[in-house]
Amino acid sequence: MGCSQAGPGDERDQVARRVADAVESLASCWFAAAEDVTPHLPVRQLLALRTIQRRPELNLTALAEDLDVGLPTASRLCDRLETAGLLERSVQPHNRREIRLVVTARGRRLLADVTEHRVRRMAAVFATMTPGQCAALEQGLFAFHAHADPGPTTVG
């Protein structure tokens, strides 16, 4: 059961178009907040760092799979993050061929700063909305998240 009982290509497509427009506004706010933080990281590097922080058991191969990139691309992402002092790579004690990825204290501070800037930007927009609009947005986003990604609910 979807957003409406209408057939494909009509009402649901119109809803999807309106939501796509709204998501562009949200994404603009989201990415602009990340640009407020120094050092400024490209989106893919920020996503890699956030992914490693959330899943500390990840190795380079798993990171590449998680980001849906090739192993050389993931390795270059990690090279850049390591050069910036945001990530450390070390050999796993139990498997010397496996590289362990760890977000440094500086990397954790950067991610916390990005999150704080995002929260402040979104809160400024929410301040212009009614409580009902905020509740509807929250409910709708959580429902979308649950249907798009049936895994654990984490927003980052």
pLDDT at 6 over 70: no
Residue-wise pLDDT for 32-46, tens only, equals: 888 888 888 999 999
**82: pLDDT confidence band, cut at 50, 70 and 90?**
very high
Does the predicted TM-score (pTM) go above 0.95?
A: no
**151: pLDDT confidence band, cut at 50, 70 and 90?**
low
Spell out the SS3 assignment of the chain. CCCCCCCCCCHHHHHHHHHHHHHHHHHHHHHHHHHCCCCCCCHHHHHHHHHHHHCCCCEHHHHHHHHCCCHHHHHHHHHHHHHCCCEEEEECCCCCCCEEEEECHHHHHHHHHHHHHHHHHHHHHHCCCCHHHHHHHHHHHHHHHHHHCCCCCCCC
Residue-wise pLDDT for 96-116, tens only, equals: 778 889 999 999 999 999 999
